[in-house]
């Protein structure tokens, strides 16, 4: 399909148009339905395979584009969502920014701070937004948790404890491919590390880390990281690809504890429970059901529309990349020692 054939899809409508770069499962299963309920207009889906792009785009009512470069050349595409393998993120984010497109990168965005700073610098030079997709943060349960902590429900915050683990699956999947940026730290460890930053101060740093590697797979399959800030708040983050499913964090304060029982991947219709423990009383708080992917595309659209909304996302991207790289480096040094 040639670019000129895409005009009916790509040039109509006053809303910002977004294209999806790749047909990953998360894009088809979660992003496509969410975009339809967000302020964006879904313009196109691109794949290296014409057949795959047409199969996905046909059901979504948008244009099908063969090749990622062609998506970046297409008129009417103002922004792109990139759910490609981790190893491809930095390259295609840079190309998208150079083509004048705002960028939403699936987590983990990039593997190190320098790459993050380079993307942010390019985005700011071009007057564009670049944002890392931690969709879980857009679920209302986290705003509820933040409000309870800020309101003194658990006294002064002392520590964060987060865990995200999933059972082993087909070893041929991308998350087990080292050359594609696989491994437990990148696949699931990024979640509790990112969540911890909602509660630790700007001085957050890595105090210790460990990773367990599977010799046959060639990637880390579990790990732990300890973070801390200048106010004495600590964060213990554990994660793995060889565990029973767990998706939780808790906040321990001077006068109580708050537990989010389904913190990272609640289903669209689920109502996660927050458990507030205060002395001899326990209160169960039911969060509203929400599609957190609608929330992330809505937040991304706000950053596209308003330059003032971009700085916080740019800062978050750099900070997350720095901490994740430090965790990996600290763990590898410890293993070597």
- Residues belonging to the active site: 107
- Residues forming beta bridges with residue 42, ordered by sequence position: 18
- Element (DSSP H or E) covering residue 161: strand 157-165
- Report residue 315 as tokens: 């800062």
- Report residue 331 as tokens: 């763990």
- Report residue 142 as tokens: 């986290």
What's the gap between Cα 313 and its chain centre? 11
CA distance 105 to 168: 25
Residues 6+ apart with CB under 8 A from 1: 50, 54, 63, 64, 65, 66
Buried b / exposed e along 288-302 (16+ C-beta atoms within 10 A): eebbbbbbbbebbbe
Residue 89 near residue 105 (C-beta atoms within 8 A): yes
């Amino acid at each position: 399909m040639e670019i000129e054939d895409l005009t009916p899809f790509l040039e109509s409508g006053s809303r910002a148009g977004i294209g999806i770069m790749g047909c990953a499962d998360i894009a088809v299963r979660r992003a496509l339905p969410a975009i339809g309920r967000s302020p964006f207009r879904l313009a196109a889906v691109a794949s290296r395979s014409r057949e795959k792009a047409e199969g996905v785009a046909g059901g979504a009512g948008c244009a099908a584009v063969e090749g990622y470069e062609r998506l970046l050349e297409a008129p009417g595409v103002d922004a792109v969502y990139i759910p490609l393998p981790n190893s491809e993120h930095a390259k295609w984010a840079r190309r998208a920014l150079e083509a004048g497109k705002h960028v939403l990168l699936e987590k983990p965005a990039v593997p190190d701070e320098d790459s993050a700073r380079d993307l942010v610098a390019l985005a700011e030079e071009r007057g564009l937004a670049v944002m890392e997709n931690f969709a879980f943060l857009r679920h209302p349960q986290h705003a509820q948790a933040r409000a309870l902590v800020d309101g003194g429900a658990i006294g002064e915050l002392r520590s964060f404890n987060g865990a995200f683990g999933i059972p082993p699956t087909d070893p041929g999947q991308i998350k087990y491919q080292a050359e594609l940026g696989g491994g437990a730290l990148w696949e699931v460890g990024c979640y509790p590390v990112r969540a911890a930053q909602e509660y630790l101060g700007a001085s957050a740093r890595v105090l210790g880390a460990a990773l367990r590697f599977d010799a046959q797979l060639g990637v880390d399959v579990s790990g732990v990281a300890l973070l801390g800030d200048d106010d004495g708040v600590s964060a213990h983050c554990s994660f793995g690809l060889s565990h029973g499913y767990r998706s939780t964090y808790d906040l321990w304060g001077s006068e109580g504890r708050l537990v989010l029982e389904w913190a990272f991947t609640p289903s669209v219709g689920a109502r996660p429970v927050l458990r507030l423990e205060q002395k001899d009383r326990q209160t169960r708080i039911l969060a509203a059901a929400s599609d957190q992917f609608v929330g992330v595309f809505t937040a991304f659209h706000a950053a596209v529309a308003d330059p003032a909304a971009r700085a916080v996302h740019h800062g978050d991207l750099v900070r997350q990349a720095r901490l994740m790289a430090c965790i990996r480096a600290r763990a590898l040094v410890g293993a070597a020692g």
